[in-house]
Amino acid sequence: MSLYGGRANRDLLSGENLLITVFAFIVIAAVLLAVGYPLWLKRRGASYLHLGERNESGDLTFRKESLYATIKELDFDFKTGKLSAEDYEELRKKYREKAMALLHEMEKSGLSGEIDDRIEEEIRARRRQVAEKSQVEGAEARGDTGGGVYCPGCGEGCPPGHSFCPYCGAELPASD
């Protein structure tokens, strides 16, 4: 007598069991792919952030960020006692030299200037938005209709006649 009360053992690849077996293999393959793909990309040196960027700017930026991360890891490993002082100094010097060479390469190609210019423009635009919003809100709260100058850097109201903001030091526009 068998375990199934006299019935013959079912074969895994027969009938409805075939469908369950195939489905199980598909699920296992999907899980392995979901877990293994990011690890495979990391080993190849790719990044999710830079998969779409296949230009010189993206590659140099990725290399720069990788070097910075490596230097941070070295600092952490030294602070936690995983590296001796001699090894730490030697490796840090090596990676700093690589980072400096990469920064010089970026400057020569003009890529660092483009990025810096875009960042600076975004900062200026954000400061203008904050200043405009603060001017409107401040005037509404005080019931002001004029008489003072508002700082374009921080949005604070400044006394008339000042050339610089007493709060953030930004140059104030000339008052009318």
For 156-171, the pLDDT digits (tens) are 777 777 788 888 888 8
1-6: long-range contacts at Cβ-Cβ below 8 A with a sequence spacing of 24 or more? none
Using CA atoms, how far residue 46 sits from 36, 62, 69, 103, 176, in Å, is: 14, 9, 14, 20, 56
pLDDT level of residue 12 (50, 70, 90 thresholds): low
- Bridge partners of 157, per DSSP, are 150
Give the pLDDT confidence of 98-114 residue by residue, as tens digits.
Answer: 988 888 887 777 765 66
pLDDT at 175 over 90: no
Most confident option among 59-68, 109-118, 125-134:
59-68
Q: What is the pLDDT of residue 171?
A: 85
Interhelix angle 111-142/56-79, rounded to 10 degrees, is: 80
Q: What are the residue boundaries of the structural domains of the chain, listed by start? A: 1-46
pTM to 2 decimal places: 0.37
| Phi, psi torsion values for 13, nearest 5 degrees | -100, 25
